[in-house]
Amino acid sequence: MSPSISSTQPRSTQSGDLLQGTLDLLILKTLALEPMHGWGVAQRIQQVSKDALQIGQGSLYPALHRLEYRGWIKAEWASSENNRRAKFYSLTAAGRRQLKAQVKNWGRIAAAIARVLEGEAPA
């Protein structure tokens, strides 16, 4: 059984975080699909990543509050699927714009990292 990971990182890696801002991108992308409560966001990321990424509460909820403060998501209280009151988060128009910008930036970063890993020399 693998130990719990409290930040967004590959399950097989026990030290170091993914690039700063990756958690925000993952949350924004997840909420672009549908509004959901915080625990649902964490579960969806874990499920879609095939258990490679786990988001601990100590990372998830501060990130949700930060995104809400920036106006990229909004929160509303509602009943969850098990009839408990929970905060449901959804993307705002500003959040959709931010997601688009972050996805574009992620593509540039991923390509740059791939070039470094492949050892390509600059043209």
pTM above 0.85, yes or no: no
Domain covering 16-120 in this structure, CATH number: 1.10.10.10
Name the residue ranges covered by the structural domains of the chain: 16-120
Look at residue 8 in the predicted model and tell me its pLDDT: 43
Q: Give the C-alpha separation, 18 to 4, whole Å.
A: 16
What are 4-17's pLDDT values in tens digits?
Answer: 334 444 443 333 35
Give which of 51, 29, 22, 5 is closest to 95, Cα–Cα: 29
DSSP 8-state class, residue 79: E
What are 40-79's pLDDT values in tens digits?
Answer: 999 999 999 999 999 999 999 999 999 999 999 999 998 8
